Amino acid sequence: MDDQTVDRETSAPRPDPGLPFARAAAALEGMAVADLRALLAAPADLALLLDGEGVVRDVAVSEDAGLREIGSRWVGLRWADVVAEESREKIATLLRATWKPSPWAAGSELPPPAWRHVNFLGPADEDIPLSVCTVALAPPLAAASGRGPGAIRLVAFARDMRPLAAMQQRLVEAQQSMERDYLRFRHAETRYRHLFQVSAEGMLVVDAASTRIVEANPAAAGLLVVSSGSPPAGAAAAGLDRLVGAVFPVGLDSAHHDAIAALLVTARAAGRAEDIRCELTDGRGEVSVSATMFRQDSAAFFLVRLSRAQAPVGAAELLNTNAMLLKLAQSAPDCLVVTDLDGRVLSANAAFVELVQLATEEQVRGESLDRWLGRTGVDLSVLISNLRQRGSVRLFATTLRGSYGAATEVEISATLVPHGKEAFLGFTIRDVGRRLSSDARSRRELPRSVGQLTELVGRVPLKDIVGETTDLIEQLCIEAALELTRDNRASAAEMLGLSRQSLYVKLRRFGLGDLGADGDGKTVP
């Protein structure tokens, strides 16, 4: 199109009152091309002028600078090449619907444009959602745009859907957040309901204003509802129906109603009240009642807990229990020793008496436990110090000496037990001397780890620990040298940095090899 005015008076068809803008010919006559450009760009954020082959010939963009920069790159490209792959079928459908035969036949009404969602390709392969509709140009208008393959035959209007898409995304995220919160509340309610129903204690939810029972669990119905004879099927549900709506206290002896009222007043003022004991009606026993207050919305409720009052343990039953424990301690295979805070033996079982090689318990009673522990003056002090600070000690490794010199490796666990104003110490001593090692060591492997060597401190003098470890390493090195030199002692001595005579001395010491002849076949004196 040029900048001259467009005069279509001779070629335009006679206006049909049934068509949209039936008087548009008279209204638009003499309109300048610039006005036509503004008119095409006004209805949408983006307008494309397409030729008969679906190639973009011109672009009109609104004030959106991003669309203007992108749209300028589409001129000369096929419309199907500037949209995402999933939208190409929509473009083909739009073109077919727009170019169907005789859209401008006399007496026919132009169908309203159909808007379709199309994703255009943006920078960095980012999709730009646009709502698109197409309008075919009337033959006179198409002729006015020129002839040939580049003649404009169709206008595509597009509206930017990114703000709407962002709003929809926020709506989806808000909906998902609400659904997650809803599920979380539903799960919490399910857990609450389950705990409320299966609780062995009676639970009541009481309205603080009217003191009517709003909810009750089966345990509360079993305590408060009096049933005659054996309970029939569905008695639990019937009992709950009788409780819900009743005024609390119900099912409790009338003599305790004043105490219950005082309990609720205390719970209302302080938020919770201590347990009180009340009798059930008809002398069915005694229950412990407590209450706490909570708010839900603008209403206040009491959570009342009911539980059977525990009868005190009889003296005979307690004595029987103590007797069983004492019998167990006396016959236990591990040593059990009770001492005062200074470590003097108050009592010991038969296993301890046997391990220290004595005959009766009277022989160990009153003696200090330090008499039999491996490191005299050290182990017991360490144990008592840790018991005073921490209250218990586990798996303390040491040795236990018998009265006739037998030494046994043991592990000690101990605890500090309060007893009135005083306290005593309890020791469990286990014999670990016959415990098998969990890993089988080879002849050439070090028999002790670093931890095992450190456990020897206090039991064995330091020079003996160092000497044992040094001798073992020396023996392993000599064996390795002999193996590398294939029992050539001269080469082995040179490899170890020893004289041949020193090597022979060490071989005799460790009992290694045949000392009748050296590696060269010479007899060794």
Query: Comparing 514 with 516, which gets the higher pLDDT?
Result: 514
Q: What percent of the chain has pLDDT above 70?
A: 73
Q: What single-letter DSSP state applies at residue 340?
A: -
Backbone angles phi, psi at 275, to 5 degrees: -65, 145
Q: What single-letter DSSP state applies at residue 427?
A: E
Residue ranges and CATH numbers for the domains of the chain are: 24-160 (3.30.450.20), 199-308 (3.30.450.20), 324-431 (3.30.450.20), 450-510 (1.10.10)
Query: Comparing 9 with 142, which gets the higher pLDDT?
Result: 142
The whole-number pLDDT of residue 460 equals: 64
Tell me the three state secondary structure of residue 54: coil
Backbone angles phi, psi at 50, to 5 degrees: -115, 145
Residue type at 188 in one-letter notation: A
Statement: residue 312 has pLDDT above 60? no
For 392-449, the pLDDT digits (tens) are 888 888 888 888 888 888 899 999 988 777 888 999 999 887 664 544 444 444 555 5
Statement: residue 485 has pLDDT above 90? no
Q: How far apart are CA 218 and CA 240, in angstroms?
A: 7
For 324-338, the pLDDT digits (tens) are 777 888 888 889 999
For 52-102, the pLDDT digits (tens) are 788 888 888 876 656 777 777 888 888 888 888 888 888 888 888 776 644
**Residue appearing with tokens 């006396």:** 330
Chain-centroid distance of CA 432 in Å reads 41
Q: How many residues does the chain have?
A: 525
Mean of pLDDT over the chain: 77
The whole-number pLDDT of residue 228 equals: 44
Q: Name the residue among 423, 401, 425, 406 with its Cα closest to residue 415.
A: 425
Q: How far apart are CA 349 and CA 329, in angstroms?
A: 7
The sign of the CA dihedral 54, 56, 60, 64 is: positive
The whole-number pLDDT of residue 1 equals: 44
Q: Name the residue among 463, 469, 467, 479 with its Cα closest to residue 512.
A: 479
The whole-number pLDDT of residue 444 equals: 46
Q: How far apart are CA 41 and CA 30, in angstroms?
A: 19
Q: Find out whether 278 and 309 touch, Cβ atoms under 8 Å.
A: no
The whole-number pLDDT of residue 382 equals: 84
Q: What percent of the chain has pLDDT above 90?
A: 8
